[in-house]
Amino acid sequence: MTFTLLDAILVAIMLISALLAMVRGFSREVLSVLSWVAAAAVAFLFYGQVTPFARQYISSETVATAAAAAGLFFLTLIIVSFITLKIADFIIDSRVGAIDRTLGFLFGAARGLLLVVVAMVFFNWLTPPEAGNQPSWVTAARSKPMLDELGVKLVAALPDNPEEQIRERFGTPPAAPDGTPAPDSGMADQPSSIEDAIQQGEQPAEAPAN
């Protein structure tokens, strides 16, 4: 194996990502990721409470749900990012600023490697290696075995059937057939069979309030 274009791309992406992270600092990079995670968590947990308000202005339930989730996500992202930016600036200007930048360089290099690994996973999916259609600068690259191995581990760490889990969490229940009345709270107390009616009739009635 020789040093090919794929190896050069890997080195370039890792170096650029590492330099950018070093300038920004490790704390800012990590807090930036946490900001996105926090925004996604808030949107995921509370979009159901906001959707009824969005339905007052949007007729489509799907669009209203998406608007509620997006609004929560971006609002939380702006607020949390403002807070984390102040924290990161304080750390950069402190005595541990040099250590923070060094850790940022390492974090950026790892992030660049992850980007190339993900890209290689999709490349192998679009152009399977067993088909023999991959260019020589990919198959002969020194980094190709490492990228493939990391890609296999990354795919193995993903949950099974993520599309189905997303549909189950965000999907809407099937609509009732036409002409079928929606159940209300009053029908919940009605007996569903003759035996239930007899049992309810045998229970003593509550005394009227004075």
Map out the domains of the chain as residue ranges: 5-117
Hey, how many other C-beta atoms are within 10 angstroms of the C-beta on 77?
Answer: 18
pTM for the whole structure: 0.61
Residue-level pLDDT, tens digit, the chain, 210 residues: 678 999 999 999 999 999 999 988 899 899 998 999 999 999 999 998 999 999 898 888 889 999 999 999 999 999 999 999 889 888 888 888 889 999 999 999 999 999 999 999 999 988 888 887 889 899 899 999 999 999 999 888 877 766 566 556 655 444 444 555 544 544 445 444 445 544 555 555 555 554
Sign of the CA dihedral running 121, 127, 128, 129: negative
Residue 126, token pair as written in the block? 């679009």
Say which residues have a Cβ less than 8 Å from residue 38's Cβ, sequence separation at least 6.
Answer: 76, 77, 80
**What is the b/e burial string over 14-48, where b = at least 16 CB atoms within 10 angstroms of the residue's CB?**
beebbeebbebbbbbbbbbeebeebbeebbeeebe
| CA neighbor of 32 nearest in space, from 118, 99, 117, 111 | 111
